[in-house]
Structure 1
Amino acid sequence: MTLYIEELLKRTEGKTLEFKRNLSSAANIMKTLVAFANSAGGILVIGVEDKTKVVIGVENPLDEEERLCSIIADSIEPRLVPNVELTAWHDKTLLSVEVFPSGLRPHWMKNQGESSGVYVRLGSTNRQADRELVAELKRSAEGIAFDELPLPQFSSDNIDVKAAQKLFVENRQLDEEALLTLKILTREQGRLVPTIGGVLLFGGKAREMHFPDAWVQCGRFLGKDKADIFDHTEIIDHLPVAVERVMEFLKKHAMRGADLSGIRRRDVWSIPLGILREVVINAVVHADYSQIGAPIRVAFFDDRIEIENPGILFPGLTIEDICRGVSKLRNRVIARVFREIGLIEQWGSGIPRIFKEAEESDLPAPEIKEIGMRLRFIVFLAESHVLKKAEKQIPEQVTEQVSEQVKRLLFCLKGQRLKGREIMDGLGFKHRPTFLYDYLQPALQKGLVEMTQPESPKSPVQKYYLSEKGKAFLMTKGMNNAK
């Protein structure tokens, strides 16, 4: 255990590790043990300064060990039996408590009761669980998937079978037997009724009625925060279709490349579509749809895309686990349907594939965080990454080619300094995102256009004008007759 303590002292506090100076804050220690048991387990080391990690040891270790075991027995329900050990560390003694993920969850603080005394571990903090999360902990301990539960208030007619059939291969007919096998439908007291998963997947109006928060909120923000949003949409399609709608939104706001081949035009996206598709699918499949007021959210910033789904990690899992490919399904019905229609290849393979693809594409490694009662996946973008990669594969003289959109913008600015709105009017545009991503930003990135207020890109008095490079381009490319 001494060597193990040495390794623990090198780590920072997190989901499965906490340090405490002594037993003076017994209530907080009990909350940590409860949270460990309800989440992914963990180790609490007593006798270490939690901020500096200076080892101070435990005075009267045998007495403190007995006192700690008594407090655990008196404070936590159902009964929790962790592994409590005394460990010599140089000339000091440490008290460690190892808690394993419990099959009796949820555990709670006895003095607070089951309704308000349940805690889970989020990062290095303990969070009080609400009613929905307590129910989720119970289901996970009993091996019950939320989306397999029946909805007896609805009938089989509430499932849009035609919409479902379009998504399956032609040789898979969704007759009654197939719908029961997929657990889109189930039998309840002699009646054929939809499951929660069936309604979430193909419920139509029934889903809107019973799960009004099962939708996807997408937003494109200017800059690196949420101060300035210029486009958003709400996606309420059937879940498999919603994945495609999210990808369409992301593509809409991704930069399109010019003619890089010199022979034919092709689109070059500045966002890693393969990675993002995997992340979106993961969010839809693993979301906790029992949470109220918590849609899936997709936020597109200039330097990253954040995808959040309601629900913390499934009990027993850590971020390190899912990065290694460990998978536990919260929504078995949704996951099986996604696999049947080809959206999922293999259980647990998606997250490792995302990190591998990011590495192979020379992109920053994505980040996964538990934020409140949500899981956030952050995909970082490399500036013009795909465009630069494509340019390396073509002759040098072609890389300076400029799209017809940028040529039109340059001609509009010839001899003038204009505001963005004035340029749009000159080009006959009303759709600002198209102007920004197909015209203005490519011109700025190529150094053909400059700003009068470069230190304040969003200034209301901002104007744009041709750089010396832009002027030279017009002269050498014979743009005087451009339309």
Structure 2
Amino acid sequence: MIEELLQQEEGKTLEFKENSKSLDRIIHTIIAFANTAGGKVLIGVKDKTKKIVGLQDPVEEEMRLANAIADSIEPLFNPDIHVVSWRNKEFLLIQVPHSVGPYYAKSKGLKKGTYIRLGSTNRLADTAIIAELQRLGENECFDEMPSTGCSIQDLDLEAIKTCFKKVGKKFIESTAFSLHLYLKKQSKSAPSKGAILLFGKNRKEIFPNATIRCVRFSGTTKDEVLDHQDIDDYLPLALDKITSFVQRNTKLGAEIGPSIRKNIAEYPPVVVKEAVTNALIHTDYSAAGSQIQVAIFDDRIEITNPGALPFGLNMEDALQGVSQLRNRVIGRCFRELELIELWGSGLKRMISQCQKSGIAIPRFEELGHFFRVTLFNHREAVLVVRGWRKDLIDLIVKRKEVATKDAASFWKISDRAARVRLKKMVEEGLISEISTHAFDPQKKFVLK
């Protein structure tokens, strides 16, 4: 457990602390983890250098922490706190599950004491984030709420019927209610926010951030614009408009077979469609002043949408296919219109299609309150592992870990020469180093 954590850097779900003296900061981290996606706090490791120091009296610190957590966090929250040992040193491991809150520091109150996790930092939640956390507690999505001041007449019913007809379905009132496009409000039918986002005649005025900004830049920077288009169409129709913009601003290659010439898109169309669909469905439309952006460069496409991963979801789970819809109305409607297939399959499908096409796999990242998918058009660079590298990797597979002396003996070279090779393999990303400091005599190497 400790070795696995030390291989990682601090981030959305991991924090190191040298000791429990800074109780307020630890409490803020626990609150942020609970509100965001869960996480682990390992106490006994310096957070800047990852130098292992251990704890003199972990049992006493455990009691001190448990009391502080019980007294400081509202609502009542009880994470698991364990004393763990490694290399004759003892640590405290706080395992914080994600839980429906919002949780906040009791002494500061809800507005000034609610924290979320952004990257490796704790951030004070603003009013919009607190509202989202409260909706999560009530199992309600932003797009399922009534669109205040709007009526059914504000929806383009003909456009809705046309979209449903294209997939061989009829749009009737019962369908509208089952998809939560219509809601009952004081015995009358009223549109949800999702309905207005999808098919609202005046959606641009109500949700100005629902405009999708597409730009083709010259080269690999944003210095010069070659083409741009702001797309304000209804979301199901916007999907085709965006993919068309990408098609006209990217290259078309050719694959010559024995008897035919086959046109090959610079980016697999299914990957572009999945990335755009992901942005349309998972955007935080409650975030004022932010838009979905599609930026095309010579070497990549960046698709960025407001809204990091939904609370309760981390990147590892998302890449494994775990699904959590931020906008259930939009998601259900897209599925009904056959614009998406299985929930949670989009990211995995993008990776699979890129691998089949022989291009680099997409990069998925959370950038503060935004989520970005970057598609690359270059071929995946593959490091051919053979010779002494492959031999050592095979050895680590058998033994789980090796020390410098093990590697030197295995390679039949000096310790100094082994250190040079091991350093090179770490730099190449083939193995990871686990140590308490640069000259740790018990330094071990494991597969990355």
TM-score, scaled to structure 2: 0.80
Write the distance in 2 (CA, Å) between the matches of 1:65 and 1:52.
23
CA shift in 2, pair 1:384/1:321, >3 Å? closer
Provide Cα deviations, 1:31-50, integer angstroms capped at 9, x if missing partner: 21111000111110100122
Q: Is the 8 A contact 2:283 2:305 kept in 1?
A: yes
Whether 1:204 aligns to 2:201 is yes
Q: Is the 8 A contact 1:239 1:284 kept in 2?
A: yes
Q: Is the 8 A contact 2:198 2:234 kept in 1?
A: yes
Write the distance in 1 (CA, Å) between the matches of 2:8 and 2:309.
21
Secondary structure at 1:237 match in 2: coil
Whichever residue aligns with residue 292 of structure 2, its letter is I
> Aligned residue for 1:439?
none
> Aligned residue for 1:453?
none
> Aligned residue for 1:86?
83
Q: Is the 8 A contact 2:37 2:97 kept in 1?
A: yes
Which of these residues, 79, 97, 101, is aligned with residue 98 of structure 2? Answer: 101
CA shift in 2, pair 1:264/1:365, >3 Å? closer
Write the distance in 2 (CA, Å) between the matches of 1:159 and 1:126.
41
- Cα deviation for residue 136 of structure 1 reads 1.0
Write the distance in 1 (CA, Å) between the matches of 2:12 and 2:6.
15
Secondary structure at 1:213 match in 2: helix
Secondary structure at 1:12 match in 2: coil
Q: Is the 8 A contact 2:358 2:380 kept in 1?
A: no
> Aligned residue for 1:294?
290
Whether 1:187 aligns to 2:184 is yes
CA shift in 2, pair 1:360/1:153, >3 Å? same
Which of these residues, 205, 228, 239, is aligned with residue 224 of structure 2? Answer: 228
Whichever residue aligns with residue 234 of structure 2, its letter is H
Whether 1:149 aligns to 2:107 is no
Q: Is the 8 A contact 2:360 2:379 kept in 1?
A: no
Provide Cα deviations, 1:356-383, integer angstroms capped at 9, x if missing partner: 1111111112111110111111111117
Whether 1:15 aligns to 2:12 is yes
> Aligned residue for 1:363?
359
Q: State the identity as a percent.
A: 42
Please give the residue correspondences for 1:211-222 in structure 2 after superposition, counting only pairs within 5 Å.
211-222=207-218
Q: Is the 8 A contact 2:358 2:379 kept in 1?
A: no
Secondary structure at 1:169 match in 2: helix
> Aligned residue for 1:116?
112
Secondary structure at 1:120 match in 2: strand
The structure where strand makes up a greater share of residues is 2
> Aligned residue for 2:242?
246
Whether 1:341 aligns to 2:325 is no
Q: Is the 8 A contact 1:303 1:383 kept in 2?
A: no
Specify the structure having the higher radius of gyration (Cα): 1
- Cα deviation for residue 53 of structure 1 reads 2.2
Write the distance in 1 (CA, Å) between the matches of 2:226 and 2:109.
47
> Aligned residue for 1:350?
346
Whether 1:308 aligns to 2:300 is no
Secondary structure at 1:11 match in 2: coil
Write the distance in 2 (CA, Å) between the matches of 1:174 and 1:134.
36
- Cα deviation for residue 96 of structure 1 reads 1.3
Secondary structure at 1:116 match in 2: helix
Whichever residue aligns with residue 366 of structure 2, its letter is E
> Aligned residue for 2:400?
none
TM-score, scaled to structure 1: 0.75
CA shift in 2, pair 1:289/1:117, >3 Å? same
- Cα deviation for residue 90 of structure 1 reads 2.8
Whichever residue aligns with residue 43 of structure 1, its letter is K
Write the distance in 2 (CA, Å) between the matches of 1:287 and 1:356.
23
Write the distance in 2 (CA, Å) between the matches of 1:358 and 1:152.
43
Unaligned runs of 5+ in 1: 386-483
Which of these residues, 62, 65, 69, is aligned with residue 62 of structure 2? Answer: 65
- Cα deviation for residue 212 of structure 1 reads 1.4
Unaligned runs of 5+ in 2: 382-448
